[in-house]
């Protein structure tokens, strides 16, 4: 998907040659002067009538281009040949080719889509999910946060700037808006193999900040609640000007001014992207926008408020002391920073101090994680050099081993997982497993480890996300939670086994990293590969004594 501007116009016969001659200059000026310009296609539909397809990365790029108009002489020359404008419409392309910026749908509704921005390089890239604000109202959309996405990409992050159904759209509110945010975050698992899905955070402004904080708490939601059991748990969330106390915001009738079609917007507010939807929003805003979002006041649907008001433990809430839209008292979390003199919309300026606080928080969160990636193992090369065994893995058979190991870690990792301790909840590509595992820094002790497992058959990745709890079960507290990615790369005849682990630490723990540095020195294959050969294939992997 990308945004396509479809413009129909007429040109008099005597000026057709002039128009065609000016076309190349106009396109070159677009490439030079317009952010997000992709391509332009000119189609003749009648003798004097033409249809121009102009493709943009996103809505913000299209808006910026419209605002610039004929600011370049080559563009003015082309526009000057047009006799009359017949129509101008916006469309969305649904067959995007892979690129550094592309729009991807995660659901069938028009708002269930986002732009994926990739930095230069091969990855894996940590991921920031951006959630725009706007009182959860359909007049406002994700083009508010496009400049922030551009800035994050320059810092080396992949960015998933997402939309979601908002009040005034069919299916929005409770639970649709929350289900959309959950689906958008979980979609990170399948967007692109260069994304590091073990290092994902959410960043949200205003109403988007409330949704980001809620998304960070999804692992703590009860079974059956909207958004529970995430495929992609967040490593943290960062909010600015977010109404985190929904009961207090409801009592204050936050957003009730949207019921007045003539009310002036707050100072510094971005223009509504879809002003024509305002009447539909106004019909629902009379009791405040929190009630419109959740389908009632706090005393009418208290269970919805209890679920929607969850705030994850790894949330940094930032607020401006001059915020006239969301009171500071509605926006506090366990980790809270106030910026003296900052207003509600200051964070939307990537050059301003408010955004720098959030961006620095994201950098600190990623920098504090203890990450270790073992060198890729050429399994067949090690077999040939270190074993008396005439067997060669294919990429298919190595992935089969990973699938079996994911369901039976006590069989394949007997030196790590206590035999017989595994409980599995769910089947197929997504399930939860609970087991007793040796602590990485004290192998004499076991701790309960709860992991949400996702088997990505397309890219042959097995993802294990550590959870603090599942239902009534609780993980042990003897070590930090950790995420693991096991994957198979290489070719069918020369597969590579890869393994990386991310501990959710506040600061890097050198002792944990040292454990894996020792594992990287192993001269033989990991135990689970030998178990697969022995238990599943009936082969005996006899080790050779290494030459010294």
Does residue 486 register a pLDDT over 60? yes
Residue 505, both tokens: 């630490």
- Each residue's pLDDT tens digit, 268-295: 999 999 999 999 999 999 999 999 999 9
What is the secondary structure of 303-354 as a DSSP string?
A: HHHHHHT---SSEEEEEETT-SSS-GGGS--SEEEEETT--TTGGG-TTSHH
Comparing 262 with 2, which gets the higher pLDDT?
Answer: 262
- Each residue's pLDDT tens digit, 176-232: 999 999 999 999 999 999 999 999 999 999 999 999 999 999 998 988 999 998 999
Does residue 471 register a pLDDT over 90? no
Q: How far apart are the first and last CA of the chain?
A: 58
d(CA 461, CA 486): 6
Q: Specify the pLDDT at position 451.
A: 95
What is the secondary structure of 485-520 as a DSSP string?
A: EEEEEE-SSSEEEEEEEEE--SS--HHHHHHHHHHT
Residue with tokens 């992949």: 158
Q: Specify the pLDDT at position 112.
A: 93
With beta carbons less than 8 A apart as the criterion, state whether 52 and 40 touch. yes
Does residue 316 register a pLDDT over 90? yes
Does residue 129 register a pLDDT over 80? yes
With beta carbons less than 8 A apart as the criterion, state whether 174 and 225 touch. no
d(CA 79, CA 505): 57
- Each residue's pLDDT tens digit, 34-87: 988 989 999 999 889 999 999 998 888 888 999 999 999 999 999 999 999 999
What is the secondary structure of 417-460 as a DSSP string?
A: BPTT--EEE--TTEEEEEEEEE-SS-TTSEEEEEEEEEEETTTT
């Amino acid at each position: 998907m990308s945004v396509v501007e479809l413009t129909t116009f007429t040109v008099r016969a005597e000026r057709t040659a002039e128009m065609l001659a000016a076309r190349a200059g106009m396109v070159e000026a677009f490439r030079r002067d317009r952010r997000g310009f992709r391509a332009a296609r000119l189609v003749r539909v009648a003798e004097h009538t033409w249809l121009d397809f102009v493709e943009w990365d996103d809505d913000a790029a299209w808006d910026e281009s419209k605002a610039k108009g004929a600011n370049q002489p080559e563009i003015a020359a082309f526009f000057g040949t047009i006799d009359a404008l017949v129509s101008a419409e916006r469309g969305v392309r649904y067959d995007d080719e892979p690129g550094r910026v592309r729009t991807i749908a995660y659901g069938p509704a028009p708002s269930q889509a986002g732009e994926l921005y990739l930095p230069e390089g091969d990855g894996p890239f940590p991921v920031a999910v951006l959630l725009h604000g706007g009182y959860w109202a359909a007049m406002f959309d994700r083009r508010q946060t496009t400049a922030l996405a551009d800035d994050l990409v320059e810092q080396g992050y992949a960015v998933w700037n997402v939309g979601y159904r908002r009040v005034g759209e069919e299916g929005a509110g409770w639970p649709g808006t929350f289900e959309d945010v959950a689906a958008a975050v979980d979609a990170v698992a399948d967007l692109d193999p260069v994304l590091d899905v073990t290092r994902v955070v959410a960043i949200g402004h205003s109403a988007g900040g409330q949704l980001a904080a809620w998304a960070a708490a999804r692992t703590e939601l009860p079974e059956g609640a909207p958004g529970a059991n995430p495929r992609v748990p967040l490593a943290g969330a960062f909010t600015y000007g977010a109404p985190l106390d929904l009961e207090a915001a409801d009592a204050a009738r936050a957003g009730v001014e949207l019921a007045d079609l003539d009310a002036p917007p707050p100072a510094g507010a971005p223009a509504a992207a879809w002003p024509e939807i305002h009447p539909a929003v106004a019909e629902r805003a009379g009791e405040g926008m929190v009630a419109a979002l959740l389908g009632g006041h706090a005393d009418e649907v208290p269970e919805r408020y209890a679920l929607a008001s969850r705030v994850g433990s790894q949330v940094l809430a930032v607020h401006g002391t001059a915020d006239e839209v969301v009171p500071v008292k509605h926006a506090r979390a366990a980790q809270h920073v106030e910026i003296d003199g900052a207003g509600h919309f200051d964070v939307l300026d990537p050059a301003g101090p408010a955004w720098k606080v959030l961006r620095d928080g994201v950098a600190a969160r990623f920098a504090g994680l203890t990450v270790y990636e073992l060198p890729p193992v050429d399994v067949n090369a090690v077999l040939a050099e270190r074993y008396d065994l005439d067997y060669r893995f294919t990429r298919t058979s190595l992935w089969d081993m990973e699938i079996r190991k994911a369901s039976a870690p006590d069989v394949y990792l007997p030196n790590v997982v206590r035999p017989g301790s595994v409980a599995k909840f769910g089947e197929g590509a997504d399930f939860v497993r609970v087991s007793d595992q040796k602590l990485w820094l004290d192998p004499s002790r076991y701790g309960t480890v709860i992991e949400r497992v996702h088997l990505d058959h397309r890219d042959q990745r097995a993802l294990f996300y550590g959870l603090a709890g599942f239902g009534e079960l609780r993980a042990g507290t003897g070590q930090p939670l950790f995420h693991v990615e096991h994957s198979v790369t290489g070719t069918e005849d020369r597969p590579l086994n890869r393994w990386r682990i991310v501990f959710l630490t506040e600061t890097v723990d050198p002792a944990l990293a040292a454990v894996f540095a020792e594992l990287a020195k192993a001269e033989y294959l990991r135990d689970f590969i030998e178990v697969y050969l022995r238990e599943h294939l009936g082969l005996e992997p006899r080790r050779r004594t290494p030459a010294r």
